[in-house]
Structure 1
Amino acid sequence: MIGNPDNDNNLEGPMVFIIIGKAYEIKGGEGIDLHILLSAADDDSAVREALNALTEEGFVEADLDQIGMLTEAPVEEPHASAYQGALEGEVAIIRFDS
Structure 2
Amino acid sequence: MISTPDNDNNLDGPMVFIIIAKAYEKDGDDEGIDLHIMLSAPDDDSAVREALNALAEEGFLEADLDQIGMVSEIPEEEPHASAYQGALQGEVAIIRFS
Indicate the percent of aligned positions where both proteins have the same amino acid: 82
Unmatched 5+ stretches in structure 1: none
Unmatched 5+ stretches in structure 2: none
> Deviation digits for residues 29-79 of structure 1, max 9, x if unmatched?
020000000000000000000000000000000000000001111000000
Post-superposition offset of 1:6? 2.2
The aligned counterpart of 1:59 is 60
The aligned counterpart of 1:26 is 26
**C-alpha RMSD over aligned residues:** 0.9
The aligned counterpart of 1:84 is 85
1:11 paired to 2:19: no
CA distance in 2 between counterparts of 1:28 and 1:42 reads 32
* TM-score, reference length from structure 1: 0.95
CA distance in 2 between counterparts of 1:78 and 1:88 reads 16
CA distance in 2 between counterparts of 1:13 and 1:63 reads 29
The aligned counterpart of 1:74 is 75
Post-superposition offset of 1:8? 2.0
CA distance in 2 between counterparts of 1:61 and 1:78 reads 23
CA distance in 2 between counterparts of 1:17 and 1:95 reads 16
Secondary structure of the 1:66 match is strand
CA distance in 1 between counterparts of 2:12 and 2:96 reads 30
Aligned letter for 1:26? K
Aligned letter for 1:92? A
* TM-score, reference length from structure 2: 0.95
- Over 2 Å off, 4+ runs: 2-6
